Amino acid sequence: MGGKVLVLSGPSGCGKSSLINEILKEEKNIYFSISTTTREIRDGEQEGVNYHYISKEQFEREIGEGAFLEWAEVHGNYYGTSLKPIYKAIKENKLVILDIDVQGHAIVKTKFPRILTSVFLTTPSEEELQRRLEHRGTDSPETIATRLHNAKKEMARIDEYEYLLINDDFNTALHTLRCIVKTAWLKPSEEEISAFTADW
């Protein structure tokens, strides 16, 4: 089977990165797309591991060059997904995992409709999301308020996704995500269907 694409979206603070990191430890033949951003690097983050950090000027130049699969401005900063490594990974029959927002998902959906699996991850409640954002201690109260406001807008688009995953218990959420990953591999592209039926 050829390469596939798995999109994981959800509010900041809902646990996307932690779940993805566990999947990357366990699964083989996966390419995790590292986004490019113009936001400041946080304590504990590394260039090329968490994000590729560039200036707004460089990001805007690359937008003009058509270098991104999708990009968006979130919380006053740009975030984008580079195209070349994604096409390379699909050609190498890998599962491409994308951690992107609802706007990015809508774009990816038009580009890879046959081989895309989409998951919206969230907390059981707004109060729990606020608690987690405050607990991680990386954002100001104003930033947390902005993230909660944006989370409400994102929640309104859950119906655009195939799966809703509520991260109430981490181990349970991880088990469910493992199952979704296995399902994602089963989606045949048009080329795979044509090749199989011709051989059959």
Q: Rounded to an integer, what distance in angstroms lies between the CA atom of residue 94 and that of residue 194? A: 20
Q: What is the DSSP string of the chain?
A: ---EEEEEE--TTSSHHHHHHHHHHH-SSEEEPPPEE-SPPPTT--BTTTBEE--HHHHHHHHHTT-EEEEEEETTEEEEEESHHHHHHHHTTPEEEEE--HHHHHHHHHHSTTTEEEEEEE-SSHHHHHHHHHHH--S-HHHHHHHHHHHHHHHTTGGGSSEEEE-SSHHHHHHHHHHHHHHHTTPPPHHHHHHHHHH-
Mean pLDDT for each 10-residue chunk of the chain (200 residues)?
Answer: 92 92 93 92 88 94 92 88 90 94 90 95 94 87 91 95 97 97 93 92
Signed CA dihedral, 40, 177, 4, 110: sign only: negative
Q: Which two tokens stand for residue 153?
A: 């807008």
| pLDDT value for 138 | 80
- Strands 68-74 and 77-82 turn out to be antiparallel
| pLDDT value for 70 | 86
Instruction: Provide the whole-model pTM.
Output: 0.84
Q: What is the domain partition of the chain in residue ranges?
A: 4-199
Q: Which two tokens stand for residue 68?
A: 């991104």
Q: Which residues of 115-134 are buried (b: 16+ CB within 10 A; e: fewer)?
A: bbbbbbbbbeeeebbbebbe
CATH number belonging to the domain at 4-199, selected among 2.60.40.10, 3.40.140.80, 3.40.50.300, 3.10.20.80: 3.40.50.300
| pLDDT value for 103 | 87
Give the type of residue at 169: D
| pLDDT value for 185 | 94
Residues 6+ apart with CB under 8 A from 67: 80, 82, 83, 84
Q: How many residues does the chain have?
A: 200
| pLDDT value for 3 | 94
Phi, psi of 169 (to 5 degrees): -120, 125
